[in-house]
Amino acid sequence: MIIEKVTLHNFGIYQGTHQIDLNVNDIEKNVILFGGLNGGGKTTFLDSLQLVLYGKNAKCSNRGRLAYHDFLYQSINRFSPEKHAYICMEFRHKHGTKEQKYKISRSWKASDKKQVHENVTVECNNQQDAFLSEHWDDFVSEFIPQNLSELFFFDGEKIESLADPLNSAKLIKTGIEALLGLDLLSQLSKDLNIAKQKKQATLLDDRASAKVDEIREGIIKLELNISTKSNEVDSITEKIYDLDFKVEQKRAELQNSGAFLLDELDSLKEEEKNLENSISAINSLLKKHAAGALPLKVASQLFSEVEKRATEEIRVKEYSIARKYISEHEKLFLASCSKSISGEVLDIIKSELKKLHKDEDLSNSPQHLTRVSIDLFNIAKSAIDSDLRETESLIKEKKELNDKLVLIKQKLESIPSFQNVADEIKSLAIIEHELSNKNSQLAASVEELRSIESQLRDQQLRLNSALLKENIQNFEEIRGSQIVGHIENIKLIVDSFKEKLIDENIIKLERQIKLMFEKLERKSGLISQVKIDTKNYTLTLIGIDGQPLSPSRLSAGERQLISVAVLWALASTSGKEIPSVIDTPMGRLDGQHRTKLIKNYFPLASDQVILLSTDEEIMGQYYNELKPFIAKEYHIQYNETLKTSTISVGYFGS
């Protein structure tokens, strides 16, 4: 299914007529991007898509407990002189290989007495279809089953709570049953049970019939109680969504104000004192090195020259001492040579020896350092190198400590006084207390709901037992009992088939959720496994240590990604070509998670993905990363002068 065009007339914040082209034909460009500030009309647009499709069953954001016609009345633009509104959606849908075009228009008009008259018309391939128009509520499930709409139409910020086992169980149950067609099997099982009970009832006498009627009345009351309790659970869950959002907002405000560091004030001051003491100790060591051999490093060239001079002077001194003996040996050598060689050669030898003595004869140079031992220079060099290494290490350590000290001082300076933020902290505590109470209330209500469901099962067993027990055994009744037995066997087969189908597909869904989450997360190995209870559909995350991982240990962004993974897995396993419409798609995600969502989710989520973003979500880098997948982009903006929101081409006016 691809939505091609939507027309709004006097719906909510949209006064007058607004037509939006949503058609996409390129599978590589599947994203329709809407940009708008909070309160501009994005959520109203999302509501319009659900309302035109599902009418009284639509889960619109601001309907609350309003009766359907009251909601329609309030949805008419209050500045419009007209008292009627309509929403029109045009879409194409494939039945097998055949593609057909549909146009559904839902309009309503208010009378002076605030009475609302609603009208629905449906066209198929440009021909009005009276039958479809009259029975649209029954046929809409062929396009987007209403019980699956939460998988494809959702608010990115509000789905975070689906990471909670209690909150996800209902959606997973609905999704599994709808995707596998189990709702038909469930209905078949119920119908078989009713048929069996009706047959059994025909075999009862008056006394037994009265007893059975009494049990049936109890069953009807329990079913009503279940309906009431389910609505209560939904209402509490919705309240928890709002409170959870307020807690996140309040925490963000406290974090921005530095108030969250108040609890760390004493430890930060202690750390500041320790750092200052450490830096002071390093300064003392540096002074000690400065008073030792280290300054010689500054005159290292002069030091080398002095060492060289001292070495030379020592060599000259040693030569001077040895010269007397050398001269005596040379005289003996020359005397010996004069007997065997010519005078010319002897002169050459004398000349060479003279040159040699001239090169070595430095006895006339000043002698200053002949009393200095070369070992002193070696000791000094070793001390300089050692002090230099220690000094460099101390300087590095001091720099690191100074950096930490600067950070600690910045934190201390950013901490407001308790009096300045006392009201904000108190406000957060009140909301958290209310949230805690609502969570407890939800757990209690869910427990009550399960208790009533258990009572209902007991009553149904009691009814079956009563019907069997009270049957009178004559020929006709024996024949009737045989029919009842056949029906019961068929019911058992249907129930058994359903259980096996659930078990097999739950395993597939567990793997699919984990796979989808791995595509979205930035921390590798956060969870090792996903488990879904086949009886109550509660979802459990298993950490890398093999132990259950509570969603409370995850960040708000990670819980949102778990929820996206659940929705994505359910939607993808459905095999249905349904558009995904996501309001506030990246509200609580950090930068890396946003990039993962843009690169790995939006391009693959569906053939048509409609995103309703604020200017704090898909902008800059994220907009550029999404750009290759964008087919169309629009800007939703409220015009104060015209008292209406408008939808224009271009993302935030670009």
Q: Is the pLDDT of residue 362 over 60?
A: no
Asked if 33 and 611 touch (Cβ cutoff 8 Å), the reply is: yes
Q: Is the pLDDT of residue 479 over 60?
A: yes
Q: Is the pLDDT of residue 180 over 70?
A: no
Q: Is the pLDDT of residue 110 over 60?
A: yes
- Three-state SS across 33-64? EEEECCCCCHHHHHHHHHHHHHHHHCCCCCCC
Q: How many helices (H) and strands (E) does the chain have?
A: 18, 15
Tell me if residue 131 falls in helix, strand or coil.
helix
Q: Is the pLDDT of residue 606 over 80?
A: yes
- The residue whose two tokens read 């604020």 is 614
Q: Is the pLDDT of residue 547 over 70?
A: yes
CB atoms within 10 A of CB 48: 27
% of the chain beyond a pLDDT of 90: 20
Asked if 1 and 579 touch (Cβ cutoff 8 Å), the reply is: yes
Give the pLDDT of residue 571: 74
Q: What is the DSSP letter of 415?
A: P
* pLDDT tens digits, 621-632: 889 989 999 999
Mode of pairing for the β-strands spanning 84-95 and 2-11: antiparallel
Give the pLDDT of residue 159: 59
Tell me if residue 3 falls in helix, strand or coil.
strand
Tell me the average pLDDT across 455-460: 88
Give the pLDDT of residue 246: 78
Asked if 585 and 618 touch (Cβ cutoff 8 Å), the reply is: yes
* pLDDT tens digits, 51-93: 999 988 888 877 766 788 888 998 999 888 888 999 999 999 8
H or E stretch covering 85: strand 84-95
Tell me the average pLDDT across 475-495: 73
Tell me if residue 608 falls in helix, strand or coil.
coil
Q: Is the pLDDT of residue 147 over 80?
A: no
Tallying the residues shown for the chain, one arrives at: 654
Q: Is the pLDDT of residue 203 over 80?
A: no
Q: Is the pLDDT of residue 416 over 60?
A: yes
Asked if 472 and 194 touch (Cβ cutoff 8 Å), the reply is: no
Q: Among 177-186, 300-309, 441-450, whose mean pLDDT is lowest? A: 177-186
Tell me if residue 532 falls in helix, strand or coil.
strand
Tell me the average pLDDT across 464-489: 67
CB atoms within 10 A of CB 344: 7
Asked if 366 and 275 touch (Cβ cutoff 8 Å), the reply is: no
Q: Is the pLDDT of residue 474 over 60?
A: no
Asked if 646 and 636 touch (Cβ cutoff 8 Å), the reply is: yes
H or E stretch covering 11: strand 2-11
Tell me the average pLDDT across 176-201: 72
Give the pLDDT of residue 539: 79
% of the chain beyond a pLDDT of 70: 88
Higher pLDDT, 147 or 192: 192
Q: Is the pLDDT of residue 512 over 60?
A: yes
**Whether the model pTM is above 0.75:** no
Asked if 568 and 596 touch (Cβ cutoff 8 Å), the reply is: no
Asked if 522 and 593 touch (Cβ cutoff 8 Å), the reply is: yes
Compute the Cα dihedral for 285, 291, 292, 298 and give only its sign: positive
